[in-house]
Amino acid sequence: MRELLSELRAWYDAGTLFALATVVSVRGSAPRAPGAMMAVAADGAVAGSISGGCVEGAVYEMAGEVLATGRPQLQTYGISDDEAFGVGLTCGGTIEVFVRSFASAADRARLREAVDSIGRGEPVALATVLSGEAEPGACLVVRSQSTDGTLGDEGLDSAVTDDARGLLAQGTTGTLRYGAHGERRMQEVSVFVQTYAPPPRMLVFGAIDHAAATARMGSFLGYRVTVCDARPAFATRERFPTADEVICAWPHTYLQATDIDERTVICVLTHDPKFDVPLLVAALRTPAAYIGVMGSRRTHQDRAARLREAGVDAAELARLASPIGLDLGARTPEETAVSIAAEIIQHRWGGAGRPLCELTGAIHGRATGSSPSGD
């Protein structure tokens, strides 16, 4: 939905009716993960994408039907589905798409508040009934301390609220199943929970040319980027215009005072033991998803010895991606930033880091019923 914020706000302000199509499940190879959205306005305007072009035409027609009837629809498209194959889901996977309209004033107001929360970077989850013994399209907006709307049953609302907050904390999106009154380990009601957590953080230490390129790449990938360096002449906004924050402070002091979670990535590009060692001692004791350090293999050996002297154990050292990045033959700062980004993506999704032409099987085979949020 982040991709659609400006269009949805404009349609709200103009009083334009619209339908939202959402990918709620992916099996096998598919271009986009659960949570991908396309909006279709009553005047025919379209925003967003759910499959990179494979099934947009068919979903556009379905959205028109939903706008005309007011009844939500859940449709499966896949290589085994003759209709879906006809509209071109040639990647070989199967996706489920849920389409609903927002015609009532209550629904529109509820979604508008959620859109505004997402735009402000506030954590929010949208839980929508897909099928079963509850009204399809019923929606519950879940925040950390409040809810808005109902799925039609108090017990179901309570169970979904608890689980949605758990998914929100993890930054994941997916379909959950319950009994009609919220009983777990039952299958009567399918509920799609789409979470919108604040963007994950990328912390870049060392205000060098490679840091500027890495900060640009981090912003491109959707991270909230902070660049930190202890040298005032280097840690300037002019040198890092795409970063969200530029901090002049000793790296380990800043790291110890800032929030780090399981989605945070840390890139250490300083090349100086007096900065690197205390910073890495602190970083390795955080839950950060990725800690990469620039330097040659000789530098890494020296750094590892210093870290062991500082009390870092073998398991902690094993967390370091050092030297940082995948072997792409990079030479320039920009190419190095691509190498670093590639390793971060590989680490996040468990990819092989090899050319796809050398591999077999589904290209998007790791996509399942859930995906990290922030997209």
Pairing state of beta strands 290-293 and 265-268?
A: parallel
Interval 172-227: pLDDT, tens: 899 999 999 999 889 999 999 999 888 889 999 999 999 999 999 999 998 999 99
Say yes or no to pLDDT of 294 above 60: yes
Note the pLDDT of residue 122: 87
Interval 318-362: pLDDT, tens: 999 999 999 999 999 999 999 999 999 999 888 888 888 888 766
Instruction: Give the pLDDT band (50/70/90) at residue 159.
Output: very high
Q: What is the mean pLDDT of residues 268-290?
A: 94
Say yes or no to pLDDT of 95 above 60: yes
Non-local CB neighbours of 362 within 8 Å, separated by 6+ positions:
28, 29, 92, 93
Say yes or no to pLDDT of 232 above 80: yes
Report the alpha-carbon distance of residue 285 to residue 271 in Å, rounded.
Answer: 20
Note the pLDDT of residue 366: 46
Report the alpha-carbon distance of residue 161 to residue 182 in Å, rounded.
Answer: 10
Say yes or no to pLDDT of 32 above 70: yes
Non-local CB neighbours of 325 within 8 Å, separated by 6+ positions:
292, 336, 339, 340, 342, 343
Name the more confident of 365 and 20. Answer: 20
% of the chain surpassing 90 pLDDT: 65
Interval 118-141: pLDDT, tens: 888 889 999 999 999 999 999 999
Q: What is the mean pLDDT of residues 245-260?
A: 96
Note the pLDDT of residue 368: 36
Task: Show contacts of 81-85: CB within 8 Å, 24+ apart.
Answer: 83/58, 84/55, 84/58
Name the more confident of 362 and 26. Answer: 26
Say yes or no to pLDDT of 316 above 90: yes
Note the pLDDT of residue 79: 53
Considering the entire predicted model, what is its pTM?
Answer: 0.65
Residue in 185, 220, 223 with CA at minimum distance from that of residue 204? 223
Q: What is the mean pLDDT of residues 52-60?
A: 83
Per-chain mean pLDDT for the chain: 88
Say yes or no to pLDDT of 372 above 50: no
Say yes or no to pLDDT of 171 above 80: no
Say yes or no to pLDDT of 303 above 90: yes
Contact 374, 197 (CB under 8 A): yes
Name the more confident of 263 and 53. Answer: 263
Which of the 8 DSSP states describes residue 290? E
